[in-house]
């Protein structure tokens, strides 16, 4: 098990944004943010390093649920422009308990909770359903070992994160 790592795909912030409401703006870089889903109300500041990106980067797609502080960087990854002062829900959020990689090291699947797989890879889906899921009643550590063994036998590797 390793510590969770974020690949900055931005997907969570494209939906969490529905809950991020800018209540008051003191300047373009200083706001009061209310997190509708938790009731948290905090002052947030755009990090100095992200100010140009915040002002001039591609504006977020609010209508589809993007957080107003999410921006896309030149390399295609996404950044939280208020990273240092982001709310608790964002600091503690883990999008998965396991990340599954193919032989080239590309992410092809994510597991939420103990065994809920999200993937667009039909082969991985089939392996999961036939060889992994039937053992999902095993105790957690044993099930984690089982996942690693089965996936490795098909050429996949997995990163399992501390919960
Ligand atoms: S927490 Fe997960 S979904 Fe959110 S940006 Fe990081 S890798 Fe993507
Ligand atoms: S505050 Fe930052 S981490 Fe939280 S949803 Fe917005 S962009 Fe994502």
In this predicted structure, what is the pLDDT of residue 60? 66
Q: Is 128 in the pocket of ligand 2 (CB under 6 A)?
A: no
Tell me the pTM.
Answer: 0.82
**CB-ligand 1 contact for 14 (6 Å cutoff):** no
pLDDT at 17: 83
Q: Whose CA is nearest to atom 2 of ligand 1?
A: 95
146 CA distance to ligand 1 middle (Å): 25
Ligand 2 neighbour 16 (Cβ under 6 A): yes
Q: Where in the chain are the domains?
A: 13-92, 98-160
Query: What torsion do the CA atoms of 129, 132, 134, 137 make, to the nearest 10 degrees?
Result: -130
Q: Is 124 in the pocket of ligand 2 (CB under 6 A)?
A: no
Nearest CA to ligand 2 atom 8: 13
User: Distance, CA 100 to ligand 1 centroid (Å)?
Assistant: 14
Spell out a b/e string for 63-78, using b for 16 or more CB atoms within 10 Å of the CB, else e: eeebbbbbbeeeeeeb
Report d(CA 108, CA 10) in Å as an integer: 16
Tell me the pLDDT of the chain (163 aa) as tens digits: 678 888 999 999 998 888 999 999 999 999 999 999 999 999 999 999 999 999 987 766 666 788 999 999 989 999 999 999 999 999 998 899 999 999 999 999 999 988 999 999 999 999 999 999 999 999 988 999 999 999 999 999 999 987 6
CA of 67 to the centre of ligand 2 (A): 6
Tokens representing residue 138 in the block = 């095993």
Q: Ligand 2 mean position to 71 CA, how many Å?
A: 10
């Amino acid at each position: 098990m390793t510590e969770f790592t974020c690949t900055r795909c931005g997907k969570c912030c494209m939906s969490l944004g529905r809950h991020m409401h800018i209540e008051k703006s003191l300047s373009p870089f200083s706001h009061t943010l209310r997190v509708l889903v938790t009731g948290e109300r905090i002052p947030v500041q755009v990090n100095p390093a992200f100010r140009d990106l915040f002002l001039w980067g591609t504006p977020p797609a609010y209508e589809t649920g993007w957080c107003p502080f999410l921006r896309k960087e030149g390399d295609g990854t996404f950044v939280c422009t208020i990273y240092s002062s982001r709310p608790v829900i964002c600091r503690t959020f883990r999008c998965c308990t396991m990340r599954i990689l193919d032989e080239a090291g590309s992410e092809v699947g994510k597991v939420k909770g103990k065994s809920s797989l999200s993937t667009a890879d039909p082969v991985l889906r089939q392996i999961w359903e036939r060889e992994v899921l039937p053992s999902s009643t095993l105790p957690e550590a044993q099930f984690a070992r089982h996942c690693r063994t089965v996936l490795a036998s098909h050429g996949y590797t997995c990163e399992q994160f501390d919960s």
